[in-house]
Structure 1
């Protein structure tokens, strides 16, 4: 897979290293000479230029790439890059970094964004998970489908423990995609029995989240 990363600061370089290590072809695009450091990710291709300019994006090979990641520290720049990638180069998948939570509502398909990754939201979600908050945690939002990846842990005494995954009273537009049990990731087949402490990962829209909370606390609606 050919991935173009716009923004080669600490975040962009880290993403590039991870993708290179698993065998992807990576291009890092950076406009600041001080961040232009090809030796930091030697296996990647590098371009020094402004990703908000169409000519620079052409030079970076966006017409042939599979994914664009707008990873700069400026939300305005990330939106412009996303829009150009989608409208001018028809990139199949555009991922954009959200730096300011107040701007998160802008990062949708009207700006060419398929997946918005909010660093503050992800950090908050990890803190909630780490301190054991017994509530639904939104991990990621997929804007094109208006779906969220959410997690909730079965608390002690949950009536869902002992039930099979196929027996869950899921709301519409909702799917149970994985069960995390200790160090094990379980594909939730219909006969998989749930246990206290299981972390359930769902894809769901906004309207379904309250129903998921209620389902975990009181699955029979009584």
Structure 2
């Protein structure tokens, strides 16, 4: 897979390291000469250019990339890069970094963003995930599919404890994708029973999140009976 990363600061370089270790081709683009660190990442391709300019992206051959990542520290630049990557070069997957939470609403399909990654949101979600039982925590938003990755820790007294996954009538437009149990990742099958303390990861449409929480949360479920 070929990946272009706009922004070769600490975030961009860290992403590049991970991708290179996983065997992918990486091109880093930055307009600041002091960020071009060829010696640090010799296996990456480097381009000294402004990723917000068409001429720069032509030189980068963005149309040959499978993924474009807008990872600069400037939200306006990340939006421009995302829009150009999607509309001008047809990059299949565009991931954008959100620096300021107040701008998160802009990072959507209209600006060419498939996945928006907000560090403040991720950090708050991780805190909530660590201390919340029975509450739905939004971990990640998938813009293009209009869905979110959400997590809920199943209370020990939830009515669904002991029920096999295949017998649960999940809300429409939701999918249970993984169960974290006892330090293991369990790929759910219809015959697996739910256990108290399971961390359940779902991909769900935003308008189905409350239904999902009501179904899984012991107090909400009991109060509706």
Q: Name the TM tier (shorter chain).
A: over 0.9
Unaligned runs of 5+ in 2: none
> Hey, what's the Cα distance between the residues in 2 that align with 1:203 and 1:166?
17
Whether the 8 Å CA contact 1:69–1:96 is kept in 2: the answer is yes
Alignment of 1:97-176 (within 5 A): 97-132=97-132, 134-176=134-176
Report what 1:211 is aligned to.
Answer: 211
Deviation at 1:184?
A: 1.3
CA apart distance, 1:166: 1.1
Partner of residue 200, structure 1: 200
- Count of matched residue positions in the alignment of Structure 1 and Structure 2: 222
Residue 119 of structure 1 deviates from its aligned partner by 1.0
Q: Secondary structure at the match of 2:40?
A: helix
Contact 2:134 2:217 in 1 (8 A): no
| Aligned residues: CA RMSD | 1.3
State the 1:63 CA deviation. Answer: 1.3
8 Å CA contact retained: 1:165, 1:191:
yes
Task: Give the conservation status (yes or no) of the 8 Å contact 1:137–1:150.
Answer: yes
Give 1:1-222 correspondences, 5 Å limit: 1-132=1-132, 134-218=134-218, 221-222=224-225
3-state secondary structure, aligned to 1:40: coil
CA offsets 1:107-151 (integer angstroms, 9 cap, x no match): 111111111111111011111122345411101101111100000
SS of aligned partner of 1:38: coil
How far does residue 206 in structure 1 lie from its aligned partner after superposition? 1.3
Q: Deviations over 1:64-84 (max 9, x none)?
A: 110000000110000000011
Which string of whole-angstrom CA distances, capped at 9 and with x for unpartnered residues, describes residues 74-96 of structure 1? Answer: 10000000011011111111010
C-alpha contact (below 8 Å) 1:66/1:93 kept by paired residues: yes
* Counterpart contact for 1:8–1:30, Cα < 8 Å: yes
Structure 1 runs not aligned, ≥5 long: none
Cα distance in 2 between the residues matched to 1:158 and 1:42: 53
